[in-house]
A = this chain, B = another copy of it.
């Protein structure tokens, strides 16, 4: 097909091109700036290792496709590792790499802000009490 395994293609995209001032926030966003990445990482931080369906249950509202796509992206960015355990039925485990674990302070900051500055609306859709 392709001469030199173009599938892999080291998609370490150019984080920042010349001239522009490089910024840590921008850099972080290139790696975890997708909708579900921080949530997935938070669950793996909490549980260490999770299987596909466990992860999905923990998150709650994510579809198969989006979880699958997100995990693929996270692997490709070396934040998550995927292991196939040969049992029957086959078991697939996801866990954070060291790089992924290093995101702990970021996730903690997100968690803290979310819990202290966003109130969960306790639903029933008519409580406009704040």
Contacts and interface: CB of A to CB of B under 8 A. Distances in A.
A60 B27 contact: no
A24 B130 contact: no
A62 to B, nearest CB: 10
Copies per complex? 2
A128 B8 CA distance: 13
Contacts of A28: 38, 110-111, 113-114, 118
Contact of A106 (B18, B29, B109): B109
A15 B118 contact: yes
Given A10-B125, A29-B114, 17 more contacts: A14-B125, A23-B111, A24-B112, A24-B113, A24-B114, A24-B116, A25-B39, A25-B42, A25-B114, A27-B118, A29-B35, A29-B39, A29-B110, A99-B117, A102-B117, A103-B113, A106-B109
